[in-house]
Amino acid sequence: MFKSTHQFVAAIALAITLPAAAQDIGTPTPENLSAAYTGKVYSPYAERNYPERPLWGDSHLHTSLSMDAGLFGNRLPPVDAYRFARGEQVVSSTGQPVRLSRPLDWLVVADHSDGMGMIDDLRASTPQVTAFEQGARWAKALSNGGQEGVDAALDLIGNFSQGTMQPEMIALYSPGSKIYRSIWEGVIKDAETFNDPGRFTAFIGFEWTSLVNGNNMHRVVIMRDDADKAGQVEPFTQTAPIGSSNPRDLWKYMTRYEANTGGDILAIAHNGNLSNGIMFPLQAQWNGVKLDNTYVTERSKWEPLYEVTQIKGDGETHPFLSPDDEFADYETWAIGNLDVSVAKTNDMLAGEYAREALKRGLIIESKLGTNPYKFGMIGATDSHTSLATTEEENFYGKHSGAEPSPKRWEHPFMKTDKGEILGWQMVSSGLAAVWAMENTRESIFDAMERKEVYATTGTRMSVRLFGGWDYTDQDLNSRMPAVVGYEKGVPMGGDLRKAPAGASAPKFMVYALRDPIGANLDRIQIVKGWSDSKGKTYEKVYDVAWSGDRKA
């Protein structure tokens, strides 16, 4: 004690007798003082190196730049999407004032890379589009409005889905053209303008809209980087000859991006339920090419996440696949593929849903050594209104034609002789929760890559899960469960550590806290999937905690 006091007094004397020297040294920063401190840390909240709260965002939002969004009446550019997401009031495309109950922490504007910006020229009937038969016809119908405009929108989307748009016209709005470059630079500029590290994160990204005869294989592509790297490339499209509808070619694009820019990039698939069985192949891709080591390692590397719930139906499971799960029929869309050109059959379902994909991945890993479907799950809106809305009482639909009105329920999302999907079937879903250290592009992206994320259908409940081998009841009820969770195990998305000698089964700690302005929680379930030595897969749902004093 005496020695410490003596040194403290000596330091004061030095400062008093040598003021000039003290000024040269400068004022000690908190970081310098922290580095000099070698004693015991008494604050239980100091030096934490793990996330303390989930950051809420939408990884899949479309603006007026997306061809289909613009066709259905969206007039809001990315600027308004960012303003709305961070909590500002905006005016919707139908003239309605709208605002979120709570701002989001982050957003990915993911406009379709094919035909980005073309709709503006169709609306304006510019010579460069009216020179083409399709362009002239669609421009006239859009100008006339009403049902004629709706029919034109559906016709354009159908032609895009089937790959029958006039190639010379779509080339004007494809990578390599001056028009496209200008639009992409605007996308980057808007993201940079609204990106505010520590307060609101705006990612640079796009949607790769792969369609094979109407079968959905879409991916949202997200960059970790700023304009200096993202600006070195243009988005990948599905339009030949530069683009492709094959995911293998998307992964090659991503490989080149990282190699040439030094940046980081990932892709998130969505809506396997509209793929008619080709989203999660077991033996071969839709084109007959067998899965090989390249496919499984590349998919595992580039696609760490899957968008499991959104406006176009829930993608976790289907009653046919999970007959013993009473909740399996939540918001099921099982009519056909994306443009409803081919009706759904039960044999397609196993290649469409996340639970089955996780189990298929085990079988593939046993044969090829890598599980291509070991993904984390997130939710997103896929809203085409520029408005990331997920609350039932504040839901603005898939397209601007389905914004609040007495007739929104009958708005046609898609309609053919094989079936139809109407406005009342749209799902007010979902959101992505990310356990990130801080609200920055880098931190959120890194959490996505390590899969420390989860999906909700729109509510903001806080969910945390840890897996290990030696958790105890005392750990579960600790005042600081996250400390124990990280020290003795791994968080959601992680790989279990090697089992210690004598361990028979892993243990899990799971916590759930209701949304402060949402509904009460009913129960916590864990779904287990596994395979046997013969390649047969199984599934079981466990109720692990009930609300109140209920036991079952």
Query: pLDDT tens digits for 358-393?
Result: 999 999 999 999 999 999 999 999 999 999 999 999
Q: How many domains does the chain have?
A: 3
pLDDT for position 281: 98
Give a yes or no: residue 132 inside a domain.
no
Mean pLDDT score of the chain, rounded to an integer? 91
Six-digit token pair at 445?
A: 């992206």
- Distance between CA atoms of residues 33 and 29, nearest Å: 6
Residue 5 pLDDT greater than 60, yes or no: no
pLDDT for position 27: 55
Q: Tell whether 231 and 322 lie within a shared domain.
A: yes
Give a yes or no: residue 222 inside a domain.
yes
User: Which long-range contacts link 176-182 to residues 24+ away (Cβ below 8 Å)?
Assistant: 176/234, 176/242, 179/117, 180/116, 180/117, 180/234, 181/234
Q: Tell whether 265 and 398 lie within a shared domain.
A: yes
Whole domain around residue 313: which residue ranges?
55-117+173-455
Give a yes or no: residue 356 inside a domain.
yes
> Residues 129-148: what's their mean pLDDT?
89
Q: Tell whether 59 and 103 lie within a shared domain.
A: yes
What's the pTM value of the predicted model, to 2 decimals? 0.90
Q: Tell whether 368 and 417 lie within a shared domain.
A: yes
The angle subtended at Cα 109 by Cα 277 and Cα 296, nearest 5°, is: 35
> Residues 253-269: what's their mean pLDDT?
99
DSSP 8-state symbol, 389 = -
pLDDT for position 418: 81
Q: Quick one: 462 exposed, middle or buried, by C-beta within 10 A (0-12, 13-18, 19+)? A: middle
Give a yes or no: residue 140 inside a domain.
no
Residue 8 pLDDT greater than 70, yes or no: no
Q: Tell whether 474 and 353 lie within a shared domain.
A: no
Phi/psi of residue 546, each to 5°? -120, 155
Q: Tell whether 509 and 431 lie within a shared domain.
A: no
Domain boundary among 409, 429, 455: 455
Q: Tell whether 225 and 369 lie within a shared domain.
A: yes
- Distance between CA atoms of residues 426 and 417, nearest Å: 20
Question: Which position has the higher pLDDT, 297 or 12?
Answer: 297
CB 157 within 8 A of CB 151: no
Instruction: Using pLDDT thresholds of 50, 70 and 90, give the confidence band for residue 3.
Output: very low
- Distance between CA atoms of residues 185 and 175, nearest Å: 12
> Residues 458-467: what's their mean pLDDT?
97
pLDDT for position 120: 87
pLDDT for position 46: 77
Q: Tell whether 252 and 183 lie within a shared domain.
A: yes
> Residues 326-339: what's their mean pLDDT?
92
Q: Tell whether 349 and 449 lie within a shared domain.
A: yes
**Which residues have CB under 8 Å from 545's CB, separation 6+?**
510, 512, 523, 524
- Distance between CA atoms of residues 175 and 181, nearest Å: 7
